Amino acid sequence: DTEVTQTPKHLVMGMTNKKSLKCEQHMGHRAMYWYKQKAKKPPELMFVYSYEKLSINESVPSRFSPECPNSSLLNLHLHALQPEDSALYLCASSQDSLSGYTFGSGTRLTVV
């Protein structure tokens, strides 16, 4: 299995909703990442987990809450989002820089 699987592929949520994005990989990678990508922009790093511990938080608002339950799973809990949070959310994993990064296909989030 050489894939990063993200669910759901599309999500529409209201500003008062609570939802979660899920990411799963079975490649034994020890680092997992959340990126946010707005239309016509490059991906921007949000969080990095290394060995299931949060190692980088790029000053992301608290309405985004990451969680890494185990080495294969990465969640992003969403609460009280704003319309400007609408974007493509990409999950990635890596073993190290030598092996590169594998990205999931993303979740297209729309906040209404």
Q: Using CB under 8 A, list all residues that contact other proteins.
A: 30-31, 33, 40-43, 45, 48, 50, 55-56, 88, 90, 92, 94, 96-98, 100-106, 108
Q: Where are the alpha helices (DSSP H) in 13-64?
A: none
Give least dist CB 86 to other proteins, A: 14
Give least dist CB 45 to other proteins, A: 5
The pair of structure tokens assigned to 9 is: 């592929």
Give least dist CB 50 to other proteins, A: 4
Question: 48 vs 78, which CB is nearer to other proteins?
Answer: 48
Q: How many CA within 13 A on the CB side of residue 65?
A: 10
Question: Measuring CA to CA, which residue among 79, 55, 48, 81 is closest to residue 65?
Answer: 79
